[in-house]
């Protein structure tokens, strides 16, 4: 205990260490504030859109007397609400859609649409807590620890300190532990301060803190390893920054390139184009060319396939579905490929502790690829429910009624 107090006093008098710790605290605070602001903005957008979505449908429901028109003109907002911990790791919410307006038309042309506010930001990523803790914090720890012993050797104090210490190695462990602990506190403090009032669960915050601590402990062990060689401070710093560059930048980039090469994905544009072509071509094909593949999927409407007019809504929606069916193999391959890539990246991330910690935080924040795919799955399920709602009304030619409209599926959000 007295050793800890001694080292706390010593640390309090070390201006360079205080500077790095101050920067860590500042970086953590800024990242948490920016994350909270971003999530608040996303929630505000969703609240507005949900309100508009209901209001718009109420108006539209009074305008049309034909189920084809109703299905064509009525949009349904779908959304993926951010978790209460999403502020800490925005993850896939930067690049993948978290809100869609869906109609009962072909889905594949709608589901990959996204409206990133600023593609440049999407490219470089956000300054969130995960970035601060996983990419910047190791650098700050390196600055705090790289010269613990080497600076003492240079100053001629190393032997004096070692010989004076009552137990071997005690000043070094205490100093390193204190600096590492202080850095972890500078990071975790703002995380809790921002997370608890924001509704993040204590268990999530504990797990996130554990991720931060384990990650920092890893970098501490790297510093200890480099320190064993007895190099000078500049050499230590160069070696450690080199290790950081390799583990935080080069290895993740190499993982990305290798995984993309190992698990090829169909081009998203190809899915969209194929589906659009299938839908557009249907206008010029005999009606039977559309209805036959449709009935294969929906035999329950086999008795309603006669299309007597040049245009009938049931035929229109049938070829929308057939357009989706045409790209099903591509879409499935795209879906499977994304899962495959994510799994492979997850395995290879063990080669890069910063990448591993980032993935762990995104998993806690529900902003990882799995969460994105889960949202996509909910959109698909909702779209399927819409079709199942409209098809009987379209094929049987039922009249539009308020009672029937009230049975229309409503998208259920994922708010907790």
Partner 1 sequence: MISMLAAQSLSVMRSGQQVLKDVSFSIEQGEIHALLGGNGAGKSTTLLTFLGFLKPASGSVHVQGRDVNGNLGAARQAIAYLPEAATLYGHLSAYENLHYFLSLAGTDTGREALDDALDRVALQPEARNMRMETYSKGMRQKVAIALAILRDTPILLLDEPTSGLDPVAIDEFNRLARNLAEAGRTILLVTHDVYGACHVADRIDLLQNGVLVGAFDRPPGMDRIDTEAVHVAFAQHAGA
Among 109, 171, 190, 252, binds partner 1 (CB under 8 A): 171
Any contact of residue 165 with partner 1 (CB under 8 A)?
yes
> Which residue, 89 or 174, has its beta carbon nearer to partner 1?
174
Distance in angstroms (rounded) separating the CA atoms of residues 416 and 409: 20
- Least distance from partner 1 to the Cβ atom of residue 22, Å: 17
Any contact of residue 9 with partner 1 (CB under 8 A)?
yes
- Least distance from partner 1 to the Cβ atom of residue 223, Å: 21
Among 95, 101, 170, 414, binds partner 1 (CB under 8 A): 170
Of the ranges 106-114, 161-169, 209-217, 342-350, which one interacts with partner 1 (CB under 8 A)?
161-169
Any contact of residue 12 with partner 1 (CB under 8 A)?
no
- Least distance from partner 1 to the Cβ atom of residue 15, Å: 7
> Which residue, 119 or 169, has its beta carbon nearer to partner 1?
169
Among 47, 65, 114, 164, binds partner 1 (CB under 8 A): 164
Any contact of residue 13 with partner 1 (CB under 8 A)?
yes
Among 160, 214, 246, 253, binds partner 1 (CB under 8 A): 160
- Least distance from partner 1 to the Cβ atom of residue 11, Å: 11
- Least distance from partner 1 to the Cβ atom of residue 226, Å: 21
> Which residue, 14 or 66, has its beta carbon nearer to partner 1?
14
Q: Which residues pair with 295 in a beta bridge?
A: none
Among 48, 113, 159, 296, binds partner 1 (CB under 8 A): 159
- Least distance from partner 1 to the Cβ atom of residue 366, Å: 47
> Which residue, 115 or 228, has its beta carbon nearer to partner 1?
228
> Which residue, 174 or 259, has its beta carbon nearer to partner 1?
174
Any contact of residue 10 with partner 1 (CB under 8 A)?
yes
> Which residue, 10 or 75, has its beta carbon nearer to partner 1?
10
Query: What mask of x and - would describe binding to partner 1 in positions 99 to 138, judged by CB under 8 A?
Result: ----------------------------------------
Of the ranges 153-161, 185-193, 268-276, 394-402, which one interacts with partner 1 (CB under 8 A)?
153-161
Distance in angstroms (rounded) separating the CA atoms of residues 29 and 23: 10
Burial degree of 125 (CB within 10 A; 0-12, 13-18, 19+):
middle
Any contact of residue 228 with partner 1 (CB under 8 A)?
no
> Which residue, 122 or 151, has its beta carbon nearer to partner 1?
151
- The three-state DSSP-derived secondary structure of the chain is CHHHHHHHHHHHCCHHHHHHHHHHHHHHHHHHHHHHHHHHHHHHHHHHHHHHHHHHHHHHCCCCCCHHHHHHHCCEEEECCCCCCHHHCCHHHHCCCCEEEECCCCCHHHHCCCCCCCHHHHHHCCCCHHHHHHHHHHHHHHHHHCCCCHHHHHHCCHHHHHHHCCCCCHHHHHHHHHHHHHHHHHHHHHHHHHHCCCCCCHHHHHHHHHHHHHHHHHHHHHHHHHHCCCCCHHHHHHHHHHHHHHHHHHHHHHHHHHHHHHCCCCCHHHHHHHHHHHHHHHCCCCHHHHHHHHHHHCHHHHHHCCCCCCCCHHHHHHHHHHHHHHCHHHHHHHHHHHHHHHHHHHHHHHHCHHHHHHHHHHHHHCCCHHHHHHHHHHHHHHHHHHHHHHHHHHHHCCCCCHHHHCCCCCCCCCCC
Q: Residue numbers of the site for partner 1 (CB under 8 A)?
A: 2-3, 6, 9-10, 13-15, 155-157, 159-168, 170-171
């Amino acid at each position: 205990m007295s050793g800890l107090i001694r080292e706390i006093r010593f640390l309090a008098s070390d201006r360079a260490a205080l500077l790095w710790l101050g920067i860590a605290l500042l970086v953590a605070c800024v990242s948490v504030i920016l994350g909270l602001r971003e999530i608040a903005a996303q929630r505000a957008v969703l609240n507005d859109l949900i309100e508009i979505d209901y209001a718009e449908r109420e108006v539209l429901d009074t305008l049309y007397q034909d189920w084809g028109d109703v299905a064509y003109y009525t949009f349904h907002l779908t959304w993926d609400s951010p978790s209460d911990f999403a502020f800490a790791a925005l993850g896939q919410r930067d690049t993948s859609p978290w809100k869609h307006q869906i109609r009962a038309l072909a889905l594949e042309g709608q589901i990959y649409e996204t409206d990133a506010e600023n593609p440049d930001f999407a490219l470089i990523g956000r300054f969130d807590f995960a970035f601060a803790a996983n990419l910047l914090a190791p650098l700050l720890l390196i600055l705090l620890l790289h010269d613990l012993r080497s600076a003492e050797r240079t100053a001629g104090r190393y032997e004096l300190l070692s010989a004076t210490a009552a137990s071997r190695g005690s000043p070094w462990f205490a100093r390193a532990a204190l600096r590492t602990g202080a850095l972890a506190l500078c990071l975790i403090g703002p995380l809790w301060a921002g997370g608890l009032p924001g509704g993040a669960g204590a268990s999530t915050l504990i797990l996130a803190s554990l991720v931060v601590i384990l990650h920092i402990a890893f970098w501490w062990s790297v510093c200890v390893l480099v320190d064993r060689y007895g190099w000078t401070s500049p050499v230590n710093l160069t070696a450690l920054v080199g290790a950081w560059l390799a583990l935080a930048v080069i290895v993740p980039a190499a993982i990305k390139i290798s995984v993309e090469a190992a698990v090829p994905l169909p081009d998203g544009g190809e899915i969209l184009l194929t589906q659009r072509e299938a839908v557009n071509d249907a206008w010029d094909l005999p009606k039977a060319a559309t209805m036959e593949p449709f009935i294969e999927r929906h035999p329950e409407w086999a008795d309603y396939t006669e299309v007597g007019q040049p245009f009938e809504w049931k035929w229109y929606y049938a070829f929308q579905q057939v357009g989706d069916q045409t790209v099903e193999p591509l879409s499935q391959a795209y879906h499977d490929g994304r899962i495959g890539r994510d799994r492979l990246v997850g395995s290879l991330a063990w080669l890069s502790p910063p990448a591993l910690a980032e993935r762990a935080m995104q998993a806690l924040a529900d902003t990882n690829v799995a969460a994105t795919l889960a949202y996509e799955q909910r959109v698909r399920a909702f779209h399927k429910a819409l079709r199942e709602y409209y098809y009987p009304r379209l094929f049987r030619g039922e009249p539009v009624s308020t009672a029937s409209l009230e049975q229309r599926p409503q998208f259920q959000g994922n708010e907790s």
